[in-house]
Amino acid sequence: MSDTKSASPVRLAADIGGTFTDIAAFDVTAGKLLFGKTLTTPRHLVDGIADGVTKAGTSFAGSNLFLHGTTVAINTMLERTGAKTALLITEGFRDVYEIGRVNRPDAYNLYFKKHKPLVERALRFEVKERMYAEGDVRTPLDETEIRAFAKLFRDTGIEAVAVLLLHSYRNAAHEIRIKEILAEEAPGIFVSVSHELSQEYREFERCSTVVANAYIGPRVRRYLGEIESRLKRDGFTGSFLVVQSTGGLYEAAEGKDQCIRMLESGPAAGVIGTRAMCEAIGIDGAISFDMGGTTAKSGVIYNGHPLTTGAALIGGYDQALPIQVAMMDIFEVGTGGGSIARLSDGGALRVGPESAGAQPGPVCYGQGGTEPTVTDANLILGRLDAERFLGGEMKLDRAAAERAMQEKIAGPLGMSVTEAADGILRIAATAMSYAVKGVTTERGLDAAAFAMVAFGGAGPLHAAEVAREIGMKQIIIPQAPGHFSAFGMLFSDLRYDYVRTWPTLLSDAAFDAIEPVYREMEAQGRAAVAKAQVEATEVVVTRAADMRYVGQEHAVSVDLPLSLFTKHDRDGIKAEFDKTHELRYGTSAPREPAEIVSLRATVTGVLSKPPLAKIAKGAAAPEAAAHTGSRPIYFASARGFVDTPSYARVALRAGNQIVGPAVVEEHASTTVLLPGDTLAVDGYGNLVITIGAVR
């Protein structure tokens, strides 16, 4: 069956990061993967995409499918650069958004600051209307008032409006009507209504979600529109799909309205790529470690599936804004190759979260950067080759990096440039280990029981130190790690997630009443897949439920096999819940009664995938052509510089083995093998590293 509804030979995927823009393309006719990497162009991001496509040796015009992951949504929210937004909310609930959950993680901190809303109180307006919890109308909507609000918004320059009405997850009639009126009276304003994003209870979380969607909406809509215009101008006639935070795909037209679903689109694609690699090599569990220029992210493949969540806190626990949509369970820290090293007022060395980004970038890039970064430290310690960075396309200035390190860090601390650079890498490794712990230890999983799949331009440089920090024993560096998130998009599928709040005791659950709710959600998903401009090879439906023990406040999402519903197996559902609770919290109560809070359905339109090709076999010793020389590299365990061999990854063969210390270089990344570590190349060209004893 055809992959798309209009056949053409090339599928393109683009991932825009804070420093680099990565392109992965699959030429269906030739059966070949193509890659391109270029500096991100912050002023016009689409220019970086076009440059990367050209470097990959292909074009928009010769492609039928364009897949895109981007940080524009999350960055707009975190940087507070979104639209001037107003909130319409049910009368009496104006301050729900500001009151929140009254989280206070540090009870004795007199300087604690709670979350800061994206909409100031003066722009939150109460609406005369009210629904009962069952969905019946208590107070009819005052449409005249809504028309007056529309005029006020036009007159005061409001760019976006979020609408949150009480119990709209049960009956959305009033929200629907408000959206219609605002479209009539103020057609230029971006309008987001809560029921289109979340069909769950919890007013604060739904409010925060719809406000965030409205806040980022105008910018994301313009951004996607710019890409569409460029694609059309350059002769692209295929389908434009955006990666969601679940790793699934949805059409760009949907992305323009439901922007919040793409918050973690780039990182999620990396986890999807990790799953594809795990399937190929026959393992069912791994931790993805994605380190780029700005951040380091981690996700988990558990029993062959990525771990997901129904909500996330954006901005850290203490001042976070909750987002109540399905997304990949990803933990992120502000440490990347471009992270700036600075001395605090007290003289302590700190790394990140500020990043030099693509412009001006690290000092060694020679584009005006003046603050030493993690990348500068790697160059000073010899881990990066100044002449072979990005395959020689970009020459690095080691002397400039050393001058900046001496002036900003080493001199003030009274240490050598080498010691300062080593200190930066040690701090970075510790910080990045928190990303891995955040998706494992804090989720009840033993990180040491998993293999780490390290990618991103900087991931292979630091994976060994991060693994040691946590006690992990095996690292896998996939093919093309510097393009891996873009590569992962080629393995994504159409995906639609639905949820309905449906509170009931499990013992009282009426399967005849629950089944129509699931069927309705699944029908919506099947219709969405059928409507898409790409053709799925099959449609897969999965079910889950949010459950808790009676008396608990918060629930956990439990994956439920369809067979449990056909058999009306309450005991089986309870057993799955107990197992999930044990995994998540380290404890369960099989004898305690449980209740269902919400029902979830996921409908996946499976797309055909590019095959993962095996590489030629070789002997245990790499061929002479693979050896590219040696250079002095500093290793803390050796307490000095060690003459270290370097290898060209493209020349390595299956079965090759390397004993550390060593470096393996490729176009967009460098893998560092520490003393005591060993590396073996598997049949797919992955570098499988076994961590040795610490010396």
DSSP 521-540: HHHHHHHHHHHSSB--SEEE
pLDDT of residue 316 exceeding 70: no
Model pLDDT for residues 641-685, shown as the tens digit of each residue: 999 999 999 999 999 999 989 999 998 899 999 999 999 999 999
Query: Which regions of 107-149 does DSSP assign to beta strands (E)?
Result: 124-127, 130-131, 137-139
Q: Return the domain boundaries, the chain.
A: 10-76+221-260, 80-216, 494-606, 624-690
Residue 126 phi/psi, 5-degree rounding, is -85, 140
Position 563 confidence tier, pLDDT thresholds 50, 70, 90 = very high
CATH number of 10-76+221-260: 3.30.420.40
3-class DSSP assignment, residue 210: helix
The structure tokens listed for 140 are 């009819």
Whose CA is closest to 679, among 658, 663, 694, 665? 658
pLDDT of residue 269 exceeding 70: yes
pLDDT at site 318: 57
Position 388 confidence tier, pLDDT thresholds 50, 70, 90 = confident
Position 1 confidence tier, pLDDT thresholds 50, 70, 90 = very low
pLDDT of residue 24 exceeding 60: yes
Topology match between the domains 80-216 and 494-606? no
3-state secondary structure 437-458: HHHCHHHCCCHHHCEEEEECCC
- Contact in structure between 607 and 494 (CB atoms under 8 Å): yes
pLDDT at site 589: 93
CATH number of 80-216: 3.40.1360
3-state secondary structure 611-663: CCCCCCECCCCCCHHHEEEEEEEEEHHHCEEEEEEEEEHHHCCECCEEECCEE
pLDDT of residue 693 exceeding 80: no
Position 435 confidence tier, pLDDT thresholds 50, 70, 90 = confident
- Contact in structure between 634 and 381 (CB atoms under 8 Å): yes
The structure tokens listed for 493 are 């599928």
Residue type, 644: T
Position 333 confidence tier, pLDDT thresholds 50, 70, 90 = confident
pLDDT at site 695: 42
pLDDT at site 103: 65
Position 104 confidence tier, pLDDT thresholds 50, 70, 90 = low
Per-residue pLDDT, averaged over 212-237, amounts to 94
Query: Which regions of 183-329 does DSSP assign to beta strands (E)?
Result: 190-193, 239-243, 249-251, 286-291, 296-302, 305-306, 308-309, 312-314, 321-323, 327-328
Position 105 confidence tier, pLDDT thresholds 50, 70, 90 = low
pLDDT of residue 7 exceeding 60: no
Helical residues (DSSP H) of 408-483, grouped into ranges: 411-413, 417-439, 459-470
Residue type, 562: L
Per-chain mean pLDDT for the chain: 90
Bond preceding residue 322 cis, omega within 30 of 0: no
Model pLDDT for residues 341-373, shown as the tens digit of each residue: 999 888 889 988 888 876 788 999 998 889 999
Position 694 confidence tier, pLDDT thresholds 50, 70, 90 = very low
Per-residue pLDDT, averaged over 477-499, amounts to 92
CA 211 to each of CA 174, 177, 624: distance values in angstroms, whole numbers, following the listed order: 17, 18, 59
Fold assignment, 494-606: Dna Ligase; domain 1 (3.30.1490)
What is the spatial distance between Cα 295 and Cα 32, in angstroms, rounded to a whole number?
A: 30
